Structure formats: structure tokens, C-alpha cells
Structure 1
Amino acid sequence: MSAVNFVHMDTGAFPVVIMQSFPENMVQTEQWVKELDALLDKQTPFALIYPPKDGPEKPDTQEDMDARKYVRRWLKTGKEKMAAYCSVMILTVNQETGDKAELEKFAPMAGAVYGVPVFVADDMAAARAKAAEVTA
């Protein structure tokens, strides 16, 4: 891969990449973007799996809004590479909180923002199977 120290993403089973943690502040968002850039710089198709989110969303802070702006700025150049190399983003349902309907509503919007197909999986096994299918 590159010299980037991967904190948020597990790339051990590349081309299947699993988010280990979600960015919770600007520093973590910047790190997430660095990791994503390193993946995209490989110019090799991959699948990105988001595991179930822990609990409900917290209210937005100014830092959350600034982090989203940072990602939107990155997408001005990164979206084309995402469309070329990220074969699919897979959002995994949290069975305890029952967020499937919420994820299914969010998926088309995320797909439009990032320029990649977004799939909702019922569990991590289904997410891994879909990722393997798409990257085969």
C-alpha cells in the first residue's frame, strides 16, 4: 500500500476494506481522507464495508459540519477516483437498533455523493459476501 498509517480502515483482506472506526472529529476525518486517498492511489478496484454503527446519531456540532465541508471539498477531486476504483460501499445493519430502513433511505444519497453503488447488508457475513462477489 502506501506509507499511510491505516487507523480507520482494515486493508488486510484487500480488495475488501473494512472500516474499523468512524471519524468523530476533524483530525480523524483528515486521517480517513488520507487513508482513502492511499487506497485510490493503488488504482485497483476495492469494496468498502461499513460495519454496524454503534447506537443512535449524536447531535451535530460545528466540528461535524466542518468535517463534512472538508469531505465535500475532497470530493471535488476524489469523487472521480471513487467512481473508478471503489466498486461498492456496503452499509451493514445494526440488528440491535434496527436501522435497516434508515440505511436503505440513506444509501441512494450516499451513492450520489460518492459516485459509487451503495448496498445495505443485513450483517457482516452478508457484507463480506457481497464485497467478495463485487471484487471477484
Structure 2
Amino acid sequence: MNSFKQSNIFKLVISFVIVFAIGILWSLVTSPALDKWYLTIAKPSWTPAGWGFPVVWNTLYALMSISLFSVLKEKFSNKNIKFALTIFAIQLILNLIWSVIFFGLHSIIERIKSYSSALDIYIDKYNSVL
């Protein structure tokens, strides 16, 4: 195996490790709240069945890992790559913060505020690149 392929395999593994590490942290925060709090709150009738969440989250985290890999394999000197990594890091951190706020602190209002903050950060970063 040549060094280019080894480098890409390493970047792919690192991408999965980073993203799924956040997923593990997410599950540590949410697991205690699922039985004690989340199951007791009022939810709309269209809320997905409980078995669907692990399927969707694992698929989402796998796709996020592949997205990170597709950026990591590019040259870091490119301004767009730095921007993409910044946005990716921000959304990954906000994803974890959302879990802590919603499941850890049981605060739906704070969850809405965190989404608003994420949108503000994205718009500011996007405008600075243009």
C-alpha cells in the first residue's frame, strides 16, 4: 500500500473516531434522561418510534465522518477547506451542547436558543468568506 493510500486510510479512521467520540459523549448525556425525563414529556403524535433514533443517529454520524474525511484529504492551504473545517467543528460542538442542554438540563427553550446561535455563527462565518 503506498503512502497516499495509507494517509487517506488514517484520515478516514481519524474522521470516524472524532465524530463517533462526540456520539459516545452524546449517548452518555442522553441515556440517563431517556427513561427518567424524555419518556414522560408530552410529544407530538408524529414523534418517531424509539428504535429509530439509534438508526438515524448512527447513519448521521457515519455520514458526518465521511464528510469530515472528504475535507481532511484536501490541502489545508485552501481557504475554503479551513472554512469547511471551522463550520464542521462548530456544528459538532453545537450538536454536543444541544444534547447537554436538552437531555442533561431538560431545557427546550435553551435548545431553541442554541439553534439560533448556531445559525448566527454560520451566517457570520459564511459572510466573512464571501
Q: TM-score interval w.r.t. the shorter chain?
A: under 0.3
- Higher fraction of strand: 1
TM-score, with structure 2 as normaliser: 0.28
In our comparison, the structure showing a higher alpha carbon Rg is 2
- Higher fraction of helix: 2
TM-score, with structure 1 as normaliser: 0.27
